[in-house]
Structure 1
Amino acid sequence: MPETGPRTPDPRGQDQPRVTSSAIPAAELPVGGGSAVTPVQDAPAHPTPDDRDTPAAGGPAHAGTASKRARKAKSRERHSPLFLWVKEVATVVLVAIVLSFLIKTFLFRAFYIPSESMVNTLDVNDRIFVNLLVPEPFALEHGDVVVFRDTQGWLVPMAEKEAGPFTWVQDGLTFIGLLPDNSEQHLVKRVIGLPGDRVVCCDAGGRLMVNGAPLDESYINPAEVPQARDFDVVVPAGKVWVMGDNRNHSADSRAHTDSNGGFVDIADIEGKAAVIAWPLNRVTALDNYADVFRDVPAPAGK
């Protein structure tokens, strides 16, 4: 067999024929004697989800294409600025309603002042927040301004108001605490006598006396001199004696001695008025004037 090329020196001392790359086709390369290199054919890549869902040109649409596009549209809708803004506002409103209801139920409740019986401390149309933690778990004190339910018929019965188209909205907002209670079933007065106290009107100077100590009542409406109305009472257990700061215009314990002796049951007290919340030019914390009652001794027998 003729040689295919010039001989090259064999390292072992023998001449070997040199093979050029063009002499033997790739398919005829020997398999043994080392790492074989086989030709690599182009194989189709594994189809991706997008490839599977994409119909071939001119072929029928894949069944999952429509559903995937719908999911993508919903995802874009959920992440749109308008959707996110509406969701955020709805969350804030819901949290506010829940917090308002919890606060109104356990901490503070709003009330509306319809009369002048507490002028100048409270004006007509004032809105106040009442601390519901008084009288329980925190005890009442002399001078506290309290809101209580009218269970003794102090108020003149009011004609039932006709329900308007949005009455349910107002009632709902009042219930959760976002609107003050405008009902005619509550009164607001100042506590003068606590259980066991003896309250007398009046001394030679026209002053109230509690357990024998005269009171210089700096909270009374200074526009008028209070008209003296004689009484001498001892406050029973579980009750208080209350009076309005606008003495000449307050139908308080003095005017209702025929009903429960003029006393208010502590169980009927909703709470202690803590702050005027509206109007803004009258926002202030309410004082119980502890200095007025500083010299009042403990009731006899205590």
Structure 2
Amino acid sequence: MTSEDRGTPPVDDDGAGDPRSSSVPADQPTPKRKLSGWQETILLLVVAVALAVVVKSFFVQSFYIPSESMEPGLVINDRILVQKPSYWFGGEPQRGDVIVFEDPGGWLDPISSAGPTGTIPKALAAVGLYPTGGHLVKRVVGVAGDTIECCDEQGRLMINGVAVDESDYAVLDGAACYGPMPSQCGEDWKVGPIPEGKLFVMGDNRRHSGDSSAKLDQCEPDDAGCDAPYVDVDSVVGRLLARVWPAKRFDLTSGVDAFDDVPDPS
């Protein structure tokens, strides 16, 4: 006896009669579930924070100017951006660069070293959206191997025997020379050769800058191994890219040519 004889309906080859078949054709994708409004907001925030962390870690970071040491170019409360790629792949700071670096130890007062306070400022600082503390901004005057002397008859610093004219960016504010520390131009000083991996840095406002020259009195005259005046290259965060705030002082920085004639150390 066949199925037809029993009255059982024949099976439809296209599956129309199969209760297990789907109403959605097999060749069409299943509709995706859309995120709700609050889920989209959280996702955007996560992506934004992740991008901020990447940018801070590898490209640019914001800082503020806490003192008068870099006047007239940078004044108190200026906001600046520092770019990092310049020193990738073995590149090192050059004479004339304005750099941000970590406090070598004891260069900053406790308040400046502490950085932002409060939960929100600390969180923003962690992702590069708020200036951090514990850093300094100075200009590179000498690199590894250089010998720096203060000063020639015109009060100019001499690097590897060549006088450097810094009048385009540095100010004396009553000092008699461009290297007033530690004796306020009362006597000449000499430092170097600068050790490998070290930098000699100074603020542009030469009479009001706690910089490498201000640390010279921590070294004994015959102590050639004293590193108190120097900054480690490894502690450099990056080079000044732009002054971004206040808006009326916005400026993309460019290099200086004051050191172009300085010969390489012999």
TM over 0.5: yes
* 1:273 match: 240
Q: Secondary structure at the match of 1:267?
A: helix
Q: Cα distance, 1:160 vs. partner?
A: 9.3
Q: Secondary structure at the match of 1:262?
A: coil
* 1:295 match: 261
1:205 aligns with 2:163: no
Distance 1:273 1:92 in 2: 30
Q: Cα distance, 1:92 vs. partner?
A: 3.6
Q: Cα distance, 1:91 vs. partner?
A: 4.0
* 1:220 match: 170
8 Å CA contact 1:146–1:273 kept in 2: the answer is yes
- Within 5 A, what are the aligned runs for 1:73-222? 83-84=36-37, 86=38, 88-137=40-89, 138-158=91-111, 167-181=118-132, 183=133, 185-217=134-166, 218-221=168-171
Instruction: Spell out, residue by residue over 1:183-223, the C-alpha distance to the aligned partner (whole angstroms, 9 max, x if none).
Output: 2x11110000010011111101111111111111111137x
> Is the alpha carbon distance of 1:249 and 1:238 closer, same or farther for their aligned partners in structure 2, counting shifts above 3 Å?
same
Long gaps (5+) in structure 2: 1-16, 20-32, 178-184, 220-226
**Letter of the structure 1 residue corresponding to residue 197 of structure 2:** G
> Is the alpha carbon distance of 1:159 and 1:212 closer, same or farther for their aligned partners in structure 2, counting shifts above 3 Å?
closer
8 Å CA contact 1:227–1:247 kept in 2: the answer is no
* Identity over aligned pairs, percent: 39
Q: Cα distance, 1:281 vs. partner?
A: 1.0
Q: TM-score, normalised by structure 2?
A: 0.73
Distance 1:178 1:135 in 2: 22
Q: Cα distance, 1:131 vs. partner?
A: 1.5
Distance 2:255 2:240 in 1: 10
Distance 2:127 2:105 in 1: 27
8 Å CA contact 1:213–1:296 kept in 2: the answer is yes
Distance 2:176 2:84 in 1: 33
Long gaps (5+) in structure 1: 1-45, 49-74
**Letter of the structure 2 residue corresponding to residue 173 of structure 1:** L
> Is the alpha carbon distance of 1:299 and 1:108 closer, same or farther for their aligned partners in structure 2, counting shifts above 3 Å?
same
Q: 1:251 aligns with which of 205, 210, 218?
A: 210
Q: Secondary structure at the match of 2:110?
A: coil
Quote the RMSD (CA, aligned, Å).
2.8
Which sits farther off after the overlay, 89-98 or 250-259? 89-98
Bigger RCO (CA 8 Å, 6+ sep): 2
Q: TM-score, normalised by structure 1?
A: 0.65
1:238 aligns with 2:189: no
**Letter of the structure 1 residue corresponding to residue 236 of structure 2:** I
